[in-house]
Amino acid sequence: MRRFNAEMNKPLSIALLSCAALLAACAHAPPTHNPMATWVPSPNFDERRPVIIVLHATEQKSVKQSLDTLRSANRGGKVSAHYLVGDDGHIYQLVDDSKRAWQAGGGSWGAITDLNSASIGIEIDNERGEAYTDAQIASVMRLLDDLCTRLNIPRRQVIGHSDLAPTRKVDPGARFPWKTLADAGFGRWPQGELVDPPSGFDPWLAMAAVGYSVRDRAAAVRAFHRHYRAQDDGDDPQATFDSQDLRILYALNASVFATTP
């Protein structure tokens, strides 16, 4: 009988030990509510959500290498992204949509200065200068449609890494087909016939209105050229606008002020 009782008590003992461990863990967990304040809950709230999508190029040799990097570190430390799209169009998810992936780094877009907190990051398997595959772009657009629909991210709020960090980054590069994405409704693109801007048009104010930081003007122009002219200026410190750039900027500004940010 004693042996029978001991055997019967084993599950109970294990359960008690498990409960004790959980209680100990809870004792060290940070409080959900601020102890300085009286908790008076309101039903009027929502979860924090990303408001922008940042597209990257991995600039590595394979999906396997990029998966390893995005789960460990590169030369600058630990990095990650929410998604990775392979050459064949396969989509990998590495970080939950609701979590803050370490993908954008320093930079800004408009008034947003903490892009990691405000964005979803999509890495695309691509070595620098390599053409993107049709399968990749089709998968990127399917993913963008899903994210914009499910997370209520404005479809025009799709940018490149170099757009938000023009002094540091060049990806996804001049060969990325932004016009193809724009035709599907993603990102900003000049609409209608391009015309010369009126006298007094300020291209730097126009760049800032689109979202670019203009602290380093040459870097901002280089990023603009990669996105809207499929042009790579390298590290040219004298990069500047030509007349077609001004027409594009004027048209972009018309779209900016015609819609709610």
pLDDT at 44 over 90: no
Question: Residue 26 half-sphere exposure, CB side, CA atoms within 13 Å?
Answer: 7
Q: Is the pLDDT of residue 145 over 80?
A: yes
pLDDT for position 258: 67
pLDDT at residue number 82: 95
Average model confidence (pLDDT) across the chain: 88
Condensed to tens digits (0 to 9), the pLDDT of residues 154-186 reads 999 999 999 999 999 999 999 999 999 999 999
Pick from 178, 167, 174, 175: nearest CA to 105 = 167
Q: What pLDDT does 27 receive?
A: 46
Residue 15, pLDDT > 60, answer no
Domain residue ranges of the chain, discontinuous segments joined by +: 52-183, 203-258
Q: Is the pLDDT of residue 28 over 70?
A: no
CB count within 10 Å of CB 64 equals 11
pTM of the model: 0.84
More confident residue, 62 or 4: 62
Q: In the predicted model, is pLDDT for residue 16 greater than 50?
A: no
Helix ranges (H only) for 101-216 are: 115-118, 134-151, 161-164, 178-183, 203-210
The two structure tokens encoding residue 147: 């994210």
pLDDT of residue 6: 47
Q: What is the pLDDT of residue 36?
A: 86
Q: Which residues contact 10 (CB under 8 A, 6 or more apart)?
A: none
Lowest mean pLDDT among 65-74, 110-119, 197-206: 65-74
Q: Name every residue whose Cβ is closer than 8 Å to that of residue 30 and which is 6 or more positions away in sequence.
A: none
Compute the distance between CA of residue 90 and CA of residue 140 in angstroms, rounded to an integer: 10
Q: What distance in Å separates the CA atoms of residue 69 and residue 151, rounded to the nearest whole number?
A: 27
pLDDT at residue number 225: 98
Number of residues that make up the chain: 261
Tokens of 30: 């940070």
Which of the residues are catalytic?
Answer: 123
Type of residue numbered 157: Q
Q: What is the rounded CA–CA span in Å between residue 49 and residue 35?
A: 26
In whole angstroms, give the CA distance from residue 188 to residue 157.
8
4, pLDDT greater than 50 = no
- Judged against a pLDDT cut of 90, whether residue 259 lies above it is answered with no
Q: Which residues contact 28 (CB under 8 A, 6 or more apart)?
A: none
Average of per-residue pLDDT across 235-242: 97
Which of the four pLDDT bands, split at 50, 70 and 90, describes residue 2?
very low
Does the pLDDT of residue 12 top 50, yes or no? no
Closest CA to 213 of 163, 170, 156: 163
pLDDT of residue 102: 93
Q: Does residue 114 register a pLDDT over 70? A: yes
CATH class of 52-183: alpha beta
What's the pLDDT at 43? 87
